[in-house]
Amino acid sequence: MANASLLSVRDLTVKFPRIEPVRNLSFDVSEGETLAIVGESGSGKSLTALALMRLLPKAAQITSGRIDFSGRDLLKLDDRSIRSLRGKEIAMIFQEPMTSLNPVLTIGRQITESLRLHEGLSAKAARLRAIELLDLVRIPAPHKRIDDYPHQLSGGMRQRVMIAIAVACRPRLLIADEPTTALDVTIQAQVLDLLDRLRRELSMALILITHDLGIVTQWADNVVVMYAGRKVEQALPEALFADPLHPYTRGLLNASPRLKDDYHYTDGPLTEIPGSIVSAIGENGCPFAPRCPIVRSGCRTRVPDLLVPAEDRLVACPVIFAEGERHVAARGL
Amino acid sequence: MSLLAVSDLHTHYAGPSGTLRAVDDVSLTVEDGETVGLVGESGCGKSTLGKTITRLVAPTKGSIVFKQEDITRISERSLRPVRRRLQMIFQDPFGSLNPRQNIRDILTAPLVVHGYGNRAERAKRVEALIDRVGLPRTALSRYPHEFSGGQRQRIGIARALILDPELVVCDEPVSALDLSIQAQILNLLSSMKKDLGLSYLFISHDLSVVRYFTDRVLVMYLGRIVESADNRTLWAQPKHPYTRALMDAVPDPSRRRQAAPISGDLPSPQNIPSGCRFHPRCPLATDICRTVDPALTSFGPTHQVACHHADAA
């Protein structure tokens, strides 16, 4: 965390006509760092990514906040400036590469597009660079593959192509939204390995958006847990898994069979989080209150502040300290 | 006698560029009250195997014996009483629920088809099931699109169980669900099994879920079972290099930035490699692996492995 801050998001709120899927969200990403944003569907994690890219759907509006990217407020840039930044300094990859790749263009054409646009390379130079990039993302026989169409590649290879396109202009920040969710577990490991290698080799920062807690511990330097549009906890991965604080984070870790390997159905049921995230809609206080095992009456009326129980740690729940089970000096942020 | 006994089963599809061997010589059993896990990556043939067992897809060769009756080639008409005892739950219940029928009609239809009771008895059965899967009775007059993924899977479970089956083939029943909802559905399936004495063939790509939820595990690769063992043995002593790679690929919270255990993609089932089908990706592969297809060999009462180098493990 010693590195300089590259991206600083402050108090970001995204509003649709009837709901606010991202509410008062703040976080920082340092140069070369991997920040994981974890949450389930409906947590607002993907909309956050789209807001950073200024790619929100038309119905959405950013009603408050700042997004500072190396000294510039992205929310104040005009369309032209944001276009020259997007794909060049900030790039993004998505869950399903098949829907983001153009099926009627060769992968070579799709990689060279941004090289010619942003770097002004000639067709020939761009092609050579594209072959280098395919090699960089470990696609075998890149000089042949460059003329393939997306459907000729497997899911893992398509995601590698997306990554090659994303890093073509050596971005300083890569946002990966569920990059391995559609992939098999052995391929997932290869793609995460690749992303981490590129992060180091190209000195870029990485925002890894995922619902998979296992991925987070392994690959992130810092973790933000989101629930119903709000940040409910932030921690270094080791601390988060050793000692989850927020009742939602605790619930997720308990509900996950992966993290208690010896536990078998004959030993007893998994710990459930009752209800669903839909219950957060219209809640005036803590969004997790309707599902929370330690909810107090005050939780339903006021959104809890983020407390700082330790260095590099934030949690939006005062009740865990009031319980008496934990003697951590909590101070308001 | 096993509740289900599948022998030498093949399901091949004819395609323009050759035969696709989705299921390629598989034998397995499910005993009464047992949950058998079938684990593998996409394209390994596990879903086709599940659909072949429930006769939604026609087998090419081999036999399926359910409750001592050979159902491999019996007619649709003779299948009807079998279907009552042999049901299936799918990954995406939305795709398998008729969007124009309300939940009451969806749940009543199988009862009508199978001639269950009179109108009042059917209504009673439908209400009992909707209570049992944890949905309010008001759900009965609503339509599939009005429900969340977890609620739809509860409806899918109610529909599969309404005829009181003995074996349920569950094809990735929790893969599309959020983590907090996964636990709810697994707990529901587990308590239903206890209450109704069900057996499950549980198809999943998620090893952690398989480890928690099953009694015995079959590992499938490119149309073939490559390892089979009881749950505890498999996790204590995985012998097939593919099984080990699968386990190593699951992110381990205690390790940071681990390297990928195996390289390469799953080959196409239209072009299965010679010899051992795993050899192009296998770290232990030698000459014999390229030429000789290894048979499943016993390594203990419940443990079978198809690997020339299983001893080395």
- For the cut 70, the answer to whether the pLDDT of residue B11 exceeds it is yes
Question: Among partner residues B148, B191, B253, which is closest to A241 by beta-carbon distance?
Answer: B253
Which among A134, A152, A168 is the end of a domain?
A: A168
Which residues from A are below 8 Å from B179, CB to CB? 40, 211, 213, 252, 255-256
Nearest CA in chain B to A216: B253
Any bridge partners for residue A5, and if so which?
A30
Q: What is the mean pLDDT of residues B38-50?
A: 92
The SS3 call for residue B260 is coil
How confident is the model at residue A259, as a pLDDT?
A: 46
DSSP annotation string for A5-28: EEEEEEEEEEE-SS--SEEEEEEE
How confident is the model at residue A77, as a pLDDT?
A: 94
Euclidean distance between CA atoms B242 and B245, whole angstroms = 5
- CB proximity B45 to A under 8 Å: no
Q: What are B191-195's contacts with CB under 8 Å, separation 24+?
A: B191/A269, B192/B132, B192/B157, B192/B161, B193/B33, B193/B35
CA dihedral of residues A105, A111, A116, A119 (deg, nearest 10): 170
CB contact under 8 A, A211 and B178: yes
Euclidean distance between CA atoms A173 and A85, whole angstroms = 11
Q: What is the pLDDT of residues A18-50, one digit of tens each?
A: 889 999 999 999 999 999 999 998 899 999 999
Classify burial at A76, counting beta carbons within 10 Å of its beta carbon; exposed 0-12, middle 13-18, buried 19 or more: exposed
In this predicted model, which residue has the larger pLDDT, B254 or B142?
B142
How confident is the model at residue A100, as a pLDDT?
A: 83
Which among A134, A168, A202 is the end of a domain?
A: A168
Q: Would residue A120 count as lying in a domain?
A: yes
Q: Would residue A255 count as lying in a domain?
A: yes
Q: What does the block give as tokens for B34?
A: 């047992």
Chain A: closest CA distance from residue B163 (Å): 25
Question: Among partner residues A190, A241, A255, which is closest to B183 by beta-carbon distance?
Answer: A255
Lowest mean pLDDT among A3-12, B9-18, B175-184, B249-258: B249-258
How confident is the model at residue A323, as a pLDDT?
A: 60
Q: What is the mean pLDDT of residues A53-76?
A: 94
Report the candidate in A252, A291, A299 with the shortest Cα–Cα distance to residue A274: A291
Q: Would residue A317 count as lying in a domain?
A: yes
Q: What is the mean pLDDT of residues A110-126?
A: 92
CB contact under 8 A, B211 and A190: no
With contact defined as beta carbons under 8 Å apart, do B237 and A295 qualify? no
CB contact under 8 A, A218 and B261: no
Question: Among partner residues B178, B213, B258, which is closest to A218 by beta-carbon distance?
Answer: B258
Residue A258 binned pLDDT confidence (cut-offs 50, 70, 90): low
With contact defined as beta carbons under 8 Å apart, do A53 and A76 qualify? no
Domain count of the fold of chain A = 2
Domain boundaries defined on chain B: 4-214, 232-252+261-313
- For the cut 90, the answer to whether the pLDDT of residue A114 exceeds it is no
Q: What is the pLDDT of residues A271-302, one digit of tens each?
A: 899 988 888 988 899 999 999 999 999 999 99
Which residues from A are below 8 Å from B207, CB to CB? 185
Q: Would residue A157 count as lying in a domain?
A: yes
CA pseudo-torsion sign B193, B199, B203, B206:
positive
Euclidean distance between CA atoms B170 and B173, whole angstroms = 6
ipTM of the complex: 0.87
CB contact under 8 A, B205 and A273: no
How confident is the model at residue A327, as a pLDDT?
A: 41
- For the cut 50, the answer to whether the pLDDT of residue A328 exceeds it is no
pTM for the full predicted model = 0.88
Q: Would residue A127 count as lying in a domain?
A: yes
Give Cα separations from A35 to A59, A217, A223, B76 (angstroms). 28, 11, 6, 55
Which residues from A are below 8 Å from B180, CB to CB? 40, 251-252, 255, 272-273, 276-277
Report the side by side order of strands in the sheet with B216-221. B86-89, B167-171, B199-204, B35-39, B216-221, B224-230, B304-305, B297-298
Give the residue from A212, A265, A266 with the most B CB atoms within 10 Å of its CB, the best one to mutate: A265
Q: Would residue A124 count as lying in a domain?
A: yes
Backbone phi, psi, residue B69, to 5°: -110, 130
Write b or e for each residue in A247-258: b if 16 or more Cβ atoms lie within 10 A of its Cβ, otherwise e.
Answer: bbbbbbbbbbbb
CB contact under 8 A, B253 and A217: yes
Chain B: closest CA distance from residue A33 (Å): 14
- For the cut 90, the answer to whether the pLDDT of residue A154 exceeds it is no
A interface with B, Cβ–Cβ < 8 A, is: 40-41, 154-157, 184-190, 192-193, 196, 211-215, 217-219, 241, 251-252, 255-259, 261, 263-265, 269-274, 276-278
Chain B: closest CA distance from residue A96 (Å): 14
- For the cut 80, the answer to whether the pLDDT of residue B77 exceeds it is yes
**How many Cα neighbours within 13 Å face the side chain of B18?**
8
Q: Are strands A34-38 and A222-227 parallel, antiparallel or unpaired?
A: parallel
Residue A324 binned pLDDT confidence (cut-offs 50, 70, 90): low
How confident is the model at residue A333, as a pLDDT?
A: 31
How confident is the model at residue A51, as a pLDDT?
A: 95
Question: Among partner residues B178, B249, B253, which is closest to A186 by beta-carbon distance?
Answer: B249
Give the residue from B39, B92, B148, B178 with the most A CB atoms within 10 Å of its CB, the best one to mutate: B178
Q: What is the pLDDT of residues B260-286, one digit of tens each?
A: 788 877 788 888 999 999 999 999 999
Which among A168, A192, A207 is the end of a domain?
A: A168
Q: What is the mean pLDDT of residues A309-317?
A: 95
Report whether CATH 3.30.70.100 matches the domain B4-214. no
Chain B: closest CA distance from residue A221 (Å): 10
Count CB neighbours of B306 within 10 A.
Answer: 23
Q: What is the mean pLDDT of residues B29-52?
A: 94
Residues 224-253 of B with CB under 8 A from A: 231, 235, 245-246, 248-253
- For the cut 80, the answer to whether the pLDDT of residue A304 exceeds it is yes
Nearest CA in chain B to A212: B179
Q: Would residue A288 count as lying in a domain?
A: yes
Q: Would residue A264 count as lying in a domain?
A: yes
Please give the residue range of the domain that contains residue A124. Answer: 97-168
Backbone phi, psi, residue B43, to 5°: 90, 0
Residue A316 binned pLDDT confidence (cut-offs 50, 70, 90): very high
